[in-house]
């Protein structure tokens, strides 16, 4: 029989041959690297049989899907080790997560991280045994009987939630059997590098009314060297922790009086306002207008927008004059009302409407983290109302802005196209048109992307930008969402060239995403060592003697008058102490001034990360800092 490979080549194999047998016909090297296969786009085990006309792609650890299979198998090895060491424990679920996996387990006697050594040793024995991993299926009643026989109560509950006619898959390795959809590695011996990393509590099925289980987290990589690099990155991340640096640099505070609601301090406000000033400058250049809509609006508005049905559990509500209101979790419904205030012609479009809107979303207390996960934040929102024929060009314009911003901060990024989720509104035709429009724009930009099935917004597909910081971590920030639904729900109109009324198309987009979260990312990206244009204090003037204090104050005043941010350290402290404190504050430039500098009208310059760079005419130094500030230079 014939099958089609990823590159379009046709391969002839024996009737009923497995994906692995097909790989053997291609190359021995591919067989050694193979961990799974994709048959007609579906991820399956290498042992899966093929049929005439199938398309086949062999998956290796170079692909994310392959690494996920590898890590999922590692979760099963963990489960087998736990059942060997703690036979009375009961297994719940063990999915793959970013950079690793976890397993939720119900132990009779609690375990701690001190137990990890013996668990890892047992896992190594299982891996060394190179146990074949095989899949088998059972009808629902037999699957229930099997799991009841093993006293796996949580697996029984999962099966009971499945349809009566479901065919349920299991995976067996040695004497261990687990309920699982798969796929998995062909044997345990393919695992080369793993580590258990932490332990936490987790409610069964995320329900606070159900039992608290023990969640054991682990990580796994194709090579030990890659795992070592990962742990080195984690150590570096600890040094860059924005919650610690934010406190040290007096940028923001997290107080019990406002859990999830950050307090911005003077230095933090300088940083935040500098980002906002840059945002406004960029958007004025790109033809955006700015609006501001209310933070609290009526329930009927949120019902009309669809948020009440799809998002109300994350919204804060109140009553005003006996009527239900909600604190806005998004800015878009307010933008709809602004558009409707005036009649529009096709000649007016596109209208690019920006809003730096403060939004509130109810996050569970256990999910809060510094500025990365908060309950209120400023979204650098914009809504673009346009004609159908303007879609591609407007998306390209937004991509150009996002690329310019991320490049300025030194971020690389990759792009994902997220498609229709299960909980969505609108017709199949609208969703298909919207998704195709986004694909067309990305293709015309020659911008590589991966498809993230089912992760779109409830009202439309989206393009997500995942930026990479200087230590290799990725963060989802920018997004472009194409929306055919909300203009219909709010009955937005424009008069077309034919004199008839038509419905505009709409783009929702953010660049920073959340300004608060973006600040957290910047703190960690730069390790608090902001470029001059972002630094709350750009220059610290350090007089050596009391006689030089007036000169230090004069220099500071001159720089502040130029729009720079300078401070003089007039404390009765030794110079070494002043320099050390300025280093802790991560000030880009320190100016040491004494009698000699007073007499010559010069400054002795120390540059962050470089040290003493010598004397300069003060006007030359001012020009240097002004240039770095105005041109947003990163050193």
Active site residue 76: no
Q: 127 with 168, same domain?
A: yes
Burial 371-390 (b: 16+ CB within 10 A, else e): bbbbbbbbbbbbbbbbbeeb
Q: 499 with 578, same domain?
A: no
Which is catalytic among the residues 352, 361, 375, 509?
Answer: 361
Q: Which CATH number fits the domain that encloses residue 570?
A: 3.40.50.800
- Give pLDDT, residue 28: 87
Which is catalytic among the residues 80, 173, 379, 538?
Answer: 379
Q: Which residues contact 389 (CB under 8 A, 6 or more apart)?
A: none
Q: Within a domain: residue 166? A: yes
Q: 224 with 270, same domain?
A: no
Which is catalytic among the residues 508, 509, 590, 606?
Answer: 508
- Give pLDDT, residue 475: 87
How many other CB atoms are there within 10 angstroms of residue 311's CB atom? 16
Q: 214 with 160, same domain?
A: yes
Q: 360 with 509, same domain?
A: yes
Which is catalytic among the residues 68, 178, 380, 381?
Answer: 381
For residue 123, give both structure tokens.
């896992």
Contact between 302 and 450 under an 8 Å Cβ cutoff? The reply is: no
Q: Which residues contact 81 (CB under 8 A, 6 or more apart)?
A: 119, 120, 122, 123, 126
Q: Is the pLDDT confidence value at 160 over 90?
A: yes
- Give pLDDT, residue 243: 94
Q: 514 with 549, same domain?
A: no
For residue 397, give both structure tokens.
């314009």
- Give pLDDT, residue 473: 82
Q: Which CATH number fits the domain that encloses residue 406?
A: 3.30.930.10
Active site residue 508: yes
Q: Within a domain: residue 245? A: no
Q: 54 with 121, same domain?
A: no
Active site residue 481: no
- For 355-391, the pLDDT digits (tens) are 999 999 999 888 889 999 999 999 999 999 999 999 9
Which is catalytic among the residues 90, 190, 383, 606?
Answer: 383
Q: Which of 29, 60, 91 is the last residue of a domain?
A: 60
Q: Within a domain: residue 8? A: yes
Using CA atoms, how far apart are residues 516 and 361, in angstroms rounded to an integer?
14
Q: Which CATH number fits the domain that encloses residue 24?
A: 3.10.20.30
How many other CB atoms are there within 10 angstroms of residue 144's CB atom? 17
Q: Within a domain: residue 251? A: no
- At residue 615 the predicted structure's pLDDT band, cuts being 50, 70 and 90, is very high
Q: Within a domain: residue 192? A: yes
Active site residue 381: yes
Which is catalytic among the residues 272, 325, 328, 462?
Answer: 462
**Average pLDDT for the chain:** 93
- Give pLDDT, residue 635: 65
- For 472-494, the pLDDT digits (tens) are 888 889 999 888 888 999 999 99
Active site residue 383: yes
Q: 377 with 429, same domain?
A: yes
Q: Within a domain: residue 386? A: yes
Q: Within a domain: residue 521? A: yes
Q: 286 with 189, same domain?
A: no
- For 380-428, the pLDDT digits (tens) are 999 999 999 999 899 999 999 999 999 999 999 999 998 888 877 778 8
Q: 510 with 410, same domain?
A: yes
For residue 206, give both structure tokens.
């995320």
Give the max Cα distance, the chain. Answer: 94
- For 229-272, the pLDDT digits (tens) are 999 988 888 899 999 999 999 999 999 999 999 999 999 999 99
Greater confidence, 6 or 497?
497
Which is catalytic among the residues 104, 178, 190, 332?
Answer: 332
- For 554-607, the pLDDT digits (tens) are 999 999 999 999 999 999 999 999 999 999 999 999 999 999 999 999 999 999
Q: Which CATH number fits the domain that encloses residue 170?
A: 3.30.980.10
List Cα–Cα distances, 139 to 79, 91, 144, 497, in angstroms: 24, 21, 9, 62
Q: Within a domain: residue 495? A: yes
Q: 186 with 325, same domain?
A: no
- At residue 6 the predicted structure's pLDDT band, cuts being 50, 70 and 90, is confident
Contact between 70 and 222 under an 8 Å Cβ cutoff? The reply is: yes
How many domains are contained in the chain? 4
**CA torsion 505→500→352→416, rounded to 10°?**
10
For residue 154, give both structure tokens.
């949580």
- For 541-564, the pLDDT digits (tens) are 999 998 999 999 999 999 999 999
Active site residue 178: no
Greater confidence, 427 or 302?
302
Domain extent for 500: 258-526
Q: Is the dihedral of CA 572, 578, 580, 585 positive or negative?
A: positive
Burial class (CB in 10 A: 0-12, 13-18, 19+), 515: buried
Active site residue 280: no
Q: 225 with 337, same domain?
A: no
């Amino acid at each position: 029989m014939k099958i089609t490979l990823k590159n379009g080549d046709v391969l002839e194999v024996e009737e009923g041959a497995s994906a692995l047998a097909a790989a053997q016909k291609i190359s021995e090297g591919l067989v050694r690297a193979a961990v799974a296969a994709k048959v007609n786009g579906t991820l399956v085990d290498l042992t899966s049989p093929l049929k005439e006309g199938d398309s086949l792609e062999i998956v290796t650890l170079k692909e994310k899907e392959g690494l996920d299979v590898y890590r999922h198998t590692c979760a099963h090895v963990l489960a087998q080790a736990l059942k060997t060491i703690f036979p009375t424990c009961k297994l719940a679920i063990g999915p793959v997560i970013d950079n690793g996996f976890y397993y939720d387990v119900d132990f009779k006697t609690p375990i701690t991280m001190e137990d990890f050594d013996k668990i890892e040793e047992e896992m190594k024995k299982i891996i060394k045994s190179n146990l074949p991993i095989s899949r088998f299926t059972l009808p629902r009643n037999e699957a229930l009987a099997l799991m009841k026989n093993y006293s796996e109560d949580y697996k029984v509950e999962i099966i009971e939630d499945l349809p009566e006619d479901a065919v349920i898959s299991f995976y067996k390795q040695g004497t261990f059997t687990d309920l699982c959809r798969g796929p998995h590695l062909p044997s345990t011996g393919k695992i080369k590098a793993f580590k258990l990393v932490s332990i936490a509590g987790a409610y069964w099925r995320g329900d606070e009314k159900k039992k608290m289980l023990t969640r054991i987290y682990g990580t796994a990589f194709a090579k030990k060297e890659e795992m070592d690099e990962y742990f080195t990155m984690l150590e570096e991340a600890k040094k860059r922790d924005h919650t610690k640096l934010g406190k040290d640099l007096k940028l923001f505070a997290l107080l019990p009086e406002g859990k999830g609601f950050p307090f911005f301090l003077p230095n933090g406000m300088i940083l935040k306002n500098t980002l906002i000033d840059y945002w406004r400058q960029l958007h004025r250049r790109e033809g955006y207008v700015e609006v501001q809509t209310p933070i609290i609006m009526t329930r009927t508005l949120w019902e009309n927008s669809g948020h009440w049905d799809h998002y109300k559990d994350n919204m804060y509500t109140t009553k005003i004059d006996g009527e239900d209101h909600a604190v806005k979790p998004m800015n878009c419904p307010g933008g709809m009302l602004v558009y409707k205030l005036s009649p529009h012609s096709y000649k007016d479009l596109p209208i690019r409407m920006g809003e730096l809107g403060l939004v509130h979303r109810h996050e569970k207390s256990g999910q809060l983290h510094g500025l990365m996960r908060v309950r209120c934040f400023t979204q650098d929102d914009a809504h673009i109302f346009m004609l159908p024929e303007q879609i591609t060009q407007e998306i390209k314009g937004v991509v150009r802005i996002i690329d310019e911003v991320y490049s300025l901060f030194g971020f690389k990024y990759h792009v994902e196209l997220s498609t229709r989720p299960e909980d969505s509104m609108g017709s199949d035709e609208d969703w298909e048109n919207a998704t195709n429009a986004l694909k067309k724009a990305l293709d015309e930009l020659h911008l590589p992307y991966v498809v993230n099935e089912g992760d779109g917004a409830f009202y439309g597909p989206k393009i997500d930008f995942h930026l990479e910081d200087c230590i290799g971590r990725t963060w989802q920030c920018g997004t472009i969402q194409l929306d055919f639904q909300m203009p219909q729900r709010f009955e937005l109109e424009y008069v077309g060239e034919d004199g008839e009324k038509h419905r505009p198309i709409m783009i929702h987009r953010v660049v920073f995403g959340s300004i608060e979260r973006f600040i957290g990312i910047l703190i960690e990206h730069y390790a608090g060592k902001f470029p001059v244009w972002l630094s709350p204090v750009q220059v610290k003037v350090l007089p050596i003697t009391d006689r030089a204090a007036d000169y230090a104050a004069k220099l500071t005043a001159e720089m502040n008058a130029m729009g720079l941010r300078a401070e003089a350290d007039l404390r009765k402290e030794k110079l070494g102490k002043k320099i050390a404190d300025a280093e802790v504050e991560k000030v880009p430039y320190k100016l040491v001034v004494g009698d000699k500098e007073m007499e010559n009208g010069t400054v002795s310059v120390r540059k962050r990360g470089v040290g003493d760079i010598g004397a300069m005419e003060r006007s030359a130094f001012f020009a240097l800092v002004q240039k770095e500030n105005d041109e947003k230079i990163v050193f």
